[in-house]
Chain A
Amino acid sequence: MSTTTTKEPGAVRRRSPRRLGDAIFSGVATGAGVTILVLLAGVAIFLLIEAWPAISAPAEELPGGEGLVDFILPLAFGTVLAAVIALMLAVPFAIAIALYITHYAPRRLAQGMGYLIDLLAAVPSVVYGLWGIFVLAPASFGILKWLEENLGFLPFFTGPASSTGRTMLVVGVVLAVMILPIITAVTREVFLQTPRGHKEAALALGATRWEMIRMAVLPFGRSAMISGSMLGLGRALGETMAVTIILSVSGAVTFNLISSGNPATIAANIALDFPESSGIAVNALIAAGLVLFGITLVVNMAARAVINRRREFSGAG
């Protein structure tokens, strides 16, 4: 803090003429940093340029013929629906797994178990898609049928149950598996940082392990659980191939999760239609991509803001 005011020899030395090598090297490093920021800005700018023809075009020229908003809105609905299902399934599991690895598993095995969960993140999404359509979807028919018969009074399970299993619910399950590792990783890291004193104080008061976790670990990790979930949400919103392969799309806006008529997601719609599109349709798809970019950017920025705030105030990160 006070190095600029004191007249120590070191402070004087620092002001001596800079070496050329240092100037070049730090210049290159700073340049690389600025390049990344420019790249990110470039994503927004170039998407906007290519989406503009669709934004300014008259409604009847666009695919669907009812304007850009009517084109994107059902897709945005499907995107959010699939991501929310995935999140609701994944978060409890991810927190339980993070707790298991940090507080229950044998010390020696804990790291290896962490790797196993990380391995889930390394599997390419197209492999998840193939697995989903050939293994999970056929296997899910019995459960979908059961849901229709026993919980059919809920709007989510009115049916009729799809006999192929290519439904929103199965997509949600696959997405949940895919976002599990990132939520686990974020929460696990913070659970490990719980101050030892908090935990030992709880145990010394006679708390059982679960009571200790509820009193010390979970309150400490609350913001990590929130931000990890939001990172997972961002991942699920943008996930493409698994949805493209598994979901049977009809374009309907419906909460019915187990029938064969489902709303598509933005990302899946782009992957399905882009290779065969031309002209204004491509611009419309890019506009949809811009909306997706905006949604994920907001979700991710919120998540990072939560993480950074915790880092500043807790002093543990």
Chain B
Amino acid sequence: MSTPPRDRQRQSEEELAREREPGPDREGGPDRKERPQDRDGGDQVVGHESSRGDELTARPSLVQGSLPRWGPQAVFAGVTAVVAGALLLIGFNIALLLLASVVLSGVAIYSWARVVEGRRKATDRAVTLAVASAFALALAPLVSLLFTVASRGLGRFDAQLFTETMRGVLGEGGGIAHAIIGTLIITGVATAASVPIGIMAAIYLHEYGKGRLKRALTFFVDVMTGIPSIVAGLFAYALFVLFFGPGIRLGVMGSVALSLLMIPIVVRSTEEMLRIVPNHLREAAYALGVPKWRTIVKVVLPTSFAGIVSGVMIAVARIIGETAPLLITTGVFSSINTNPFDGRMQNLAVFAYNEYANPGVPNEPYIDRAWAAALTLLLIVMVLFLVARLISARYGVKTR
């Protein structure tokens, strides 16, 4: 404690030096003396350091028998370079390059490690490479998709796109203003309906629920997250057709379908957030004589507010890109319609699909608009997703 810093440093340096040398000092006297016995006695000896001692006498250096630290990376880089060179001769193909270099360097690393380190460590290294390249391979579609949408969508990503509608447009020109407005209204109505139900159900599950109803609700909310979106659309259609007759298309039908998809997501995420509100906050409120409902409203919900908001935003990001249920409930429409209870309503995802599926002649302007709508949609989803992550990271309840 009282030694001045420099002394302490020197001391630790000495210790390090002592650790580095593999001599008898470090092993300690008794172990060393027992060692010959170990070899003779075989199984009967009960020394836990005995086998390690054996290895040490057989191998003078501790670092022998393992690949250098840079080994696998160097092999991978080298193999990739060679494969790239070979491919340049026979015709370049990025997929083939990645595939070949992963497989070949896997074989190379395995054989090298097998010779130097033995079978078990060689397998370990091969698995490490396989697992890492699986991750990299999974990112390939994401990168390709983002690149494609950005490069093809930017062609029509102009002011006209956001200010005009498709009313009377044949061929070039036109915009998606009506689809953006429709998307916002349909999603907004769905959110307004789902968030109160979802949050209250989560409060029931975590704060009040017990017995059979709680178990059933937990189970069926989980099951509901797996309902196919097209079935949600069919449900909305089947519901409204009873009252309005066949062929009905309304903006609010789309909202009903989306609510069915959104509610379970909101319940799930809100319940997670309520769960991480520390219990002593609730108990402190009860100790002050605050009724349970005021505790929930004034203590529990404000504490988990950021988490709930980010959960809702992720739920919105999930449903805003839904196509199938809206295709069969809100239909296709080329002008602005701001009344969800009156007639067809366009939305971004359906617009993108419809421009692709039913183009005019020539089809280039239609396909370009489809990509521009897809890019807009993707940007909205990404922004929602990232902002939600930021909110929960910055303002969320600190769990530890």
Contacts A120-B141, A135-B144, A208-B121; A36 near B130 (Cβ below 8 A)? no
A293 to B123, CA, bound (A): 44
Q: Which residues of B are found within 8 Å of A303, using beta-carbon distances?
A: 226
Closest B residue to A124 using CB positions? B321
Max chain B CB contacts within 10 Å: which of A122, A231, A235?
A: A122
Q: How many A-B residue pairs have CB under 8 A?
A: 274
Point out the residue from A96, A104, A289 that lies within 8 Å of B234, measured CB to CB: A289
Check: B116 CB closer than 8 A to any chain A CB: no
User: What is the minimal beta-carbon distance from B122 to any residue of chain A, in angstroms?
Assistant: 10
Check: B294 CB closer than 8 A to any chain A CB: yes
* Cβ–Cβ contact A116 & B128, under 8 A: no
Q: Which residues of B are found within 8 Å of A177, using beta-carbon distances?
A: 138, 141
Binds A, one of B2-10, B335-343, B351-359: B351-359
Check: B102 CB closer than 8 A to any chain A CB: no
Interface flags for A211-222 (1: CB within 8 Å of B; 0: not) read: 101000000000
User: What is the minimal beta-carbon distance from B237 to any residue of chain A, in angstroms?
Assistant: 8
Check: A205 CB closer than 8 A to any chain B CB: no
Max chain B CB contacts within 10 Å: which of A24, A180, A297?
A: A297
* Cβ–Cβ contact A209 & B128, under 8 A: yes
* Cβ–Cβ contact B127 & A210, under 8 A: yes
Contacts A33-B209, A46-B242, A304-B222; A126 near B231 (Cβ below 8 A)? no
User: What is the minimal beta-carbon distance from A110 to any residue of chain B, in angstroms?
Assistant: 11
Q: Which residues of B are found within 8 Å of A57, using beta-carbon distances?
A: none
Chain B contact-residue range equals 35 or more
A93 to B136, CA, bound (A): 10
Check: A299 CB closer than 8 A to any chain B CB: yes
* Cβ–Cβ contact B208 & A126, under 8 A: no
Q: Which residues of B are found within 8 Å of A49, using beta-carbon distances?
A: 238, 242
* Cβ–Cβ contact B327 & A267, under 8 A: no
Interface, chain A (partner B; CB < 8 A): 19, 21-22, 24-26, 28-37, 39-40, 42-43, 46-47, 49-50, 92-93, 96-97, 99-101, 104-105, 113, 115-120, 122-131, 133-135, 139, 177, 180, 208-211, 213, 231, 234-235, 237-241, 244-245, 267, 270-271, 274-275, 278-279, 282, 285-286, 289, 292-293, 296-297, 299-301, 303-304, 307-308
Further 19 A-B residue pairs, CB within 8 A, beyond A26-B292, A50-B238:
A25-B296, A30-B213, A33-B200, A43-B260, A47-B231, A49-B242, A93-B137, A105-B135, A116-B139, A120-B141, A129-B353, A130-B356, A130-B374, A131-B145, A131-B149, A237-B228, A270-B324, A292-B228, A308-B219
Interface, chain B (partner A; CB < 8 A): 95, 120-121, 123-124, 127-128, 130-132, 134-135, 137-139, 141-142, 144-145, 148-149, 152, 196-198, 200-201, 203-205, 207-209, 213, 216-217, 219-232, 234-235, 237-239, 241-242, 246-247, 260, 263-264, 267, 291-294, 296-297, 317-318, 320-324, 327-328, 331-332, 349, 352-353, 356-357, 370-371, 374, 377-378, 381-382, 385, 389
